[in-house]
Amino acid sequence: MKNWICLLFCIPLQLVAQLLPANRYFNANQANAFIWDNTASNGVVNNGSGTWNTTNLTWLKSPTGANQIWVGGSSATFGGNPGTGAAGTVSVSGTQNVKNLIFDATPSGNFTIQNGTLNLQGGLWGVNQNATISSILQGSANYIKKGNANLTLTGNNSYSGLLTISQGGIYVGASNALGTSSVIMGDASTGTSNTEWRWAGSTTPSTDIVVSGLGTGTVTIGAYSAGFNTQHSGNIDLGKDVIFFDASNDRSSFEGIISGAVTNITINGNGTYNISIGQGARVTFDNNANSFTAKILVLAGKAFQFNASNAANSNPIECNGDIVINSSVTTSPVMGTLTGSGRVAIHPETTSDATFSLGNDNGSGTFSGTIIDGGGDLSIIKTGTGTQLLNGTSTYSGTTTINNGVLGGTGNLSNSATTIVNSNGKIMGGTGTGNAGIFTVDDLEFTNGSTAAINVFSNGSTLSRIQVNGTCKLGTTTKVNLMQAMPTGTYNIISSSDPMNGTTPTLGTNLSGRSVSIARVGRNLRVTLT
């Protein structure tokens, strides 16, 4: 992780001279710097296709000079000004030693470098026009990738140097396109430029990535081609916000450890996910050792899949798309506060039941979306000291257990088998102070011997309420907490469709400013305020 600092300051000073205005990287005065030119000397750069060897006169020392042979260990520029002709395909003969590789923005089309081997001796990849290298890359020297265009690497390479993506993107079309090298995204000269690390479908890159935190542009990591499932097994250390990206109709899986502390991780992509059949584009986190700290933002129409219980490391999730619990998750997935308006479900191909925990970050938030079963029955456990509000209509059929903090809202959980309020857990109708909403459940049970409670709020004229569409069982020490100033009157705070049983609760917190009596009247739990 510390090597990137050295890289910024230890590169040869002559590279600095190459960073010319308008992102022009070629310096005609630099010793051993050549421009590709596939025809006889005519005073311009002709671009085009040809063979890269040490015998053909296919290189220029300056745009208007005479053609020369390649000198090993030099810097190579493809495209130039003044120039003519389109970019072409350059075939490398044998092994060529090369320092800087520059792809100028001047010619039309994109250069492809193919065949042979490039022995990389360190320096700069300046890419102002998209280019592809399928030649074998070898060597252990460090490189900085400049320019806002993308460089695609498709060879089976043994390169082992440290690559810093200062600007633009590196796209890899083979699993070992960067050999055993590591990647740093962003350096002191990144500025507002965006950086990307992307890979093709069906590839399985293992490159370790450090997102440096330098620069203000966006950082994108993920697949770029559609139709395949891809796995990235390298570790990712986050130093700034990042976008994890999935291409259309496939799955981008991140199997390595994701670490670092940032503000947001955004889940995005080209395609959409069909939650009914479990197909479509989605980003999956697969490692139980993830230690990152961030809010996960699942954009509308996109999907985030738990392939490990601790995939989200108990971080809050704002879900406006889909959260999917995969069949490979054998123990309860854990997440922090849930917000947004999307959906949460078990993968439809999963036949076993699943349970996930909410609120493990001790935060508070409101989810107005839906929670559904999928392939098996889904259950929820509320943990943490915060307040989780569920304002949507959910159809999951497992249990709802409140172990800590508060669960409530204006939503409908009546398809859930039973809502259980354990010690330190609280249930409430509405969304808090000034709201007297109704929270609907099926069966409701307060555990005996617990300090479970009903939190009650007011909108100034009435009180919040729990609507129980089944039976209500009160515990032996259940409390009623009146959480704000309230009007006088008699109010039902729990109404049950079936007979209510258990012990009448006692008064806990009383902020109502009133004298309070609590009674069970038929199928209602009632408070009278005087």
> Does the pLDDT at position 527 exceed 50?
yes
Buried b (16+ CB within 10 A) or exposed e, 71-108: eeebbbbbbbeebebebbebbbeeebbbbbbbbbbbbe
Average pLDDT over residues 201-223: 94
Backbone dihedral angles phi then psi of residue 498, each to the nearest 5 degrees: -105, 170
Q: How much is the pLDDT for 317? A: 98
176: its two tokens: 């070992």
End-to-end CA distance of the chain: 66
State the DSSP code for 15: H
Listed residue (90, 119, 118) closest to 103, CA to CA: 90
User: Taking the domains of the chain in order of start, what are their residue ranges?
Assistant: 1-217, 399-530
> Does the pLDDT at position 71 exceed 80?
yes
Helix, strand, coil % in the chain, rounded to nearest 5: 5, 45, 50
CA dihedral (93, 99, 103, 106) positive or negative: negative
How many residues make up the chain in this entry?
Answer: 530
**Pairing label, strands 242-246, 273-274:** unpaired
Average pLDDT over residues 216-225: 93
User: Which residues, listed in sequence order, are joined to residue 36 by a DSSP beta bridge?
Assistant: 59
Q: How much is the pLDDT for 315? A: 98
Average pLDDT over residues 227-245: 93
pLDDT tens digits for range 20-61: 333 444 444 456 899 999 876 777 888 999 999 999 999 999
**What is the four-CA torsion angle of 337, 392, 494, 382, rounded to 10 degrees?**
-20
> Does the pLDDT at position 13 exceed 70?
no
Q: How much is the pLDDT for 237? A: 99
Listed residue (265, 214, 224, 264) closest to 248, CA to CA: 224
Give the H/E segment covering residue 10. Answer: helix 3-10
Q: How much is the pLDDT for 330? A: 64
Q: How much is the pLDDT for 62? A: 85
Q: How much is the pLDDT for 30? A: 56
Average pLDDT over residues 218-226: 90
- Can you tell me the distance from the alpha carbon of 152 to that of 112, in angstroms, rounded to the nearest whole number? 9
User: Which residues, listed in sequence order, are joined to residue 351 by a DSSP beta bridge?
Assistant: none
pLDDT tens digits for range 402-455: 999 999 999 999 999 999 999 899 999 999 999 999 999 999 999 986 678 999
Q: DSSP 3-state assignment of 6?
A: helix
pLDDT tens digits for range 119-134: 999 999 999 999 999 9
pTM greater than 0.85: yes
Listed residue (122, 114, 132) closest to 73, CA to CA: 122
Q: How much is the pLDDT for 357? A: 96
pLDDT tens digits for range 445-503: 999 866 789 999 999 999 999 999 999 999 999 999 999 999 999 999 999 999 999 99
Give the H/E segment covering residue 170. Answer: strand 168-172
271 or 328: whose pLDDT is higher?
271
